[in-house]
Structure 1
């Protein structure tokens, strides 16, 4: 009787483990709304972008958007000496290390 119970419990645990997603989902990609000054903008498949994302617990696999690295918001009087882009508003917890879906601002 106990062997049947252990088989049932093991089956349930295997089913639950398969149903739980592995890792965190990729960050959502929404239309860019935040003007940013980024040190560089690279593809989401770039090694530097994936390394920074991994440090922050983000999974960029499956995304095909430009990623801004080392970004800060553009404010009045703030002169951007790097790449001026409009990105998804970066999350506060990312600390300006990464921004998603960065498109160049053209004047």
Structure 2
């Protein structure tokens, strides 16, 4: 019995390693209410990014400025309702990365 197991386990490990991971990894998103949405290479976004020590390099993405999380669907935003990549760290609502305007 153990000899069959000794052959079977390495076979499973080999098969698992050979199967490529084809599931795309997408960052979590969050709905935000932002006062404005600008390109990351704009002067306003550049100032906030630099102040927070965020370097996006040559990537140009839409960023939301002065954002707050929307926690209740249908709430009155008073700004631009967006769906942004959820930040890995909190930036006290100063900026949100990769923001796409949406309608709730």
Task: Note whether the superposition's TM-score is higher than 0.5.
Answer: yes
For the aligned residue pairs, the C-alpha RMSD in angstroms reads: 1.9
Q: Are positions 1:73 and 2:69 aligned together?
A: yes
Q: What is the Cα deviation at residue 32 of structure 1?
A: 6.0
Residue ranges of structure 2 left out of the alignment (5+ in a row): 1-25
Query: Matches of 2:84 and 2:42 in 1, distance apart?
Result: 17
State the 4+ residue runs in structure 1 displaced beyond 2 angstroms.
Answer: 90-93
Q: Are positions 1:64 and 2:60 aligned together?
A: yes
Aligned residue pairs, count = 78
Find the counterpart in structure 1 of residue 33 from structure 2: 37
1 or 2, which has the higher strand percentage? 2
Residue ranges of structure 1 left out of the alignment (5+ in a row): 1-29
The SS at the match of 1:94 is coil
Is this contact kept in 2: 1:32–1:86, CA < 8 A?
no
TM-score by length of 2: 0.66
Is this contact kept in 2: 1:32–1:103, CA < 8 A?
no
Larger radius of gyration: 2
The SS at the match of 2:56 is coil
Is this contact kept in 1: 2:27–2:86, CA < 8 A?
no
